[in-house]
Structure 1
Amino acid sequence: MTTSSSIAVSAIAPRKPFSQSALGTLLVLPALTAIALLYALPLARSLITAFRDSDGTWTSEHIARAFSLYGRDVLFSIGVVSASLTLIALVSIAIAGYLVLGTTPWAVRMLRWLYRWPLFIPFVVSGQLARSFLSTNGMMNGVLVESGLMAADSAQSFLDWRGLVLTFAWKQIPFVTLLLAGAMAAIDRSHIEAARNLGAGRLRCLFNILLPQAAPTLWVGLILSLVAMLSVLSVPLMLIAGNPTMMTSMMAHRITYYGDYGIANALGLFSYALTAMTAWVYLRLTLRREATA
């Protein structure tokens, strides 16, 4: 009886992992299907279209024409994104550092309550707010003129690259700050207390203790912000009317008015390359950090 029971158990046991793996596959299948249909397939089609002519032959003409027609827009996009990321990093480090190291409770509570607001505002609303705030007769110039800090005839519009940088930074700073502040708060407080006991100030604790340990999280936030800024269409259309402008605007213009998906997808390749290069730098730094740890 015991022998027959053990044989039956041994016959049934190997089927258990198979059923569990099948169940796991069924659970992740909807997510994998959505990723394949909404991301992987459009990416593959855009890459193929960028290197194929209308008659189906492989060519690099789309890349050459895209750079010759919109080279200034590519460089403009790189400059705007670089300036925005620099501003995002500086302000996020400052806010996250004060949230962790601040000694004034009411200031920390107020800052924690205020800085998250733009996180819940869509990009299209951010563009409209920036348009009404940064224009020649907008709120910013109106406040400066009414307060006597600027003459009325000196008011100028910031609806150019400066407006893009400020809008992108204002929108993405809460996201990066939220990640960075969480990473800094997770660091062992004994490191900070030991440094403070040895006479280190808050700035030294921030840049020598907190920031080096939270740097990977900062890089992740900046890379995700880079992807968001390169994919936004509403903000450049609202703030900039002429050229040069962001690559997303030129891609939409090329498709809407010319139906030219080849050059539009070739412009998209520059966005892919910029994002991939940033991700590669992050991976290199992470691997080097792990190797030296």
Structure 2
Amino acid sequence: MLPKAKSEAMTRSHLAGLALVAPALLMIVLFFMVPLTASIVGVFETAAGPGFDNLVKAFALYSHDMIFTVVIVGLSTALIGIFSIAIGGYFTLGRNPRAQAMLRFIYRWPMFIPFIVTAQVLRTFLAKNGLMNNTLVATGLLDPASATSLLDWRGIVVAFVWKQTPFVALMVAGAMASIDRATIEAARNLGARRLRLLFEIVVPQAAPTLMVGLVLSFVTMMSVLSVPLMINAQSPTMITADIAFRINAYRDYGVANALGLISLAITGVAAYIYLRQGVADRR
């Protein structure tokens, strides 16, 4: 009787666990798996039957935009990593409590601002007659005739870096704060300077967390629509803007689905690189 009672208790426990995760699984299936499956199927649906016409058309029309997207998101990811390391490193190795407190108070603000608000603010700030150029002209640092607009690929990079750096820096700073201080103090006592401490002691130990933050930021930036639409109103542009254009202008869901599948493949490559590196580190 005892084994039977134990088996029934385990069954009830398993059923209770399934009941707890069922709502989350249902949400994933309804709002992710079903639309994803429909989009993938839609890529290969054409007027003449199943085929690759939508993918061929997507590459023919938007290959430059695909390259542009990868370059912009890759550059933004690299800059986010640099600034996150700098912020987390100063929190870990800095010796000015007031500067640390001020930086801690300021750098988190962009986390609570949506991308659409970020894009609108930067449209005002980076325009030819925007706040940045007007301030530089008023202080005599810029000739009015030399003022130029940054509402192009540079504006997109600024928006992505400004918005995503606090998210990654928060993760990196936490990982750096958990490092054993004894190793840092030992290296400092041996004469290691701050930059050497940062890149040879601190960053290698926080690298897994940094990689997680950068991959999440890469995926997030690949999916943003408001920033390229509001800042870079010219060609080339990002894939998300192309998807919106194909749907709104032509109701061409086949090519839009193809562009979405290509975006998924790009983010999948980034995720694969991260997972492969993680498996190698565990080995």
- The residue aligned with 1:278 is 270
Q: Are residue 165 (structure 1) and residue 157 (structure 2) matched?
A: yes
- The residue aligned with 2:144 is 152
Give the aligned residue type for 2:111. L
Change (3 A) 1:11 1:285: closer
Give the aligned residue type for 1:123. F
- The residue aligned with 1:202 is 194
Structure 2: how far apart are the matches of 1:155 and 1:258? 37
Give the aligned residue type for 1:19. R
Matches within 5 A, 1:49-88: 49-54=42-47, 57-88=49-80
Structure 2: how far apart are the matches of 1:224 and 1:105? 31
Please say which structure displays the higher CA radius of gyration: 1
Structure 1: how far apart are the matches of 2:4 and 2:89? 60
Structure 1: how far apart are the matches of 2:278 and 2:168? 18
What is the SS of the residue equivalent to 1:13?
Answer: helix
Q: 1:103 aligns with which of 79, 91, 95?
A: 95
What's the CA shift string for 1:190-238, capped at 9, x where partnerless?
1101111111111111100111111111111111111111111111111
Structure 2: how far apart are the matches of 1:206 and 1:127? 33
What's the CA shift string for 1:223-265, capped at 9, x where partnerless?
1111111111111111111211110000001011111111011
What is the SS of the residue equivalent to 1:14?
Answer: helix
5+ residue gaps in structure 1? 1-6
TM-score in terms of structure 1 length: 0.94
- The residue aligned with 1:212 is 204
- The residue aligned with 1:138 is 130
Q: Percent identity?
A: 51
What is the SS of the residue equivalent to 2:45?
Answer: coil
5+ residue gaps in structure 2? none
Q: 1:191 aligns with which of 169, 183, 191?
A: 183
- The residue aligned with 2:242 is 250
Runs of 4+ in structure 1 over 3 Å off: none
TM-superposed CA distance for 1:155, in Å, is 0.6
TM-superposed CA distance for 1:290, in Å, is 1.7
Structure 1: how far apart are the matches of 2:130 and 2:185? 47
Structure 2: how far apart are the matches of 1:269 and 1:10? 51
- The residue aligned with 1:21 is 14
Give the aligned residue type for 2:183. H
Paired residue total:
283
TM-superposed CA distance for 1:11, in Å, is 4.0
Q: Are residue 120 (structure 1) and residue 143 (structure 2) matched?
A: no
Say which is worse superposed, 109-118 or 235-244, in terms of deviation: 235-244
- The residue aligned with 1:31 is 24
TM-superposed CA distance for 1:268, in Å, is 1.1
Say which is worse superposed, 253-262 or 156-165, in terms of deviation: 253-262
TM-superposed CA distance for 1:105, in Å, is 0.5
CA RMSD of aligned residues (A): 1.1
Structure 1: how far apart are the matches of 2:47 and 2:205? 51
TM-superposed CA distance for 1:114, in Å, is 0.6
Matches within 5 A, 1:224-243: 224-243=216-235
What's the CA shift string for 1:108-157, capped at 9, x where partnerless?
11111110000000001000011000000101001110010000111110
Structure 1: how far apart are the matches of 2:278 and 2:83? 23
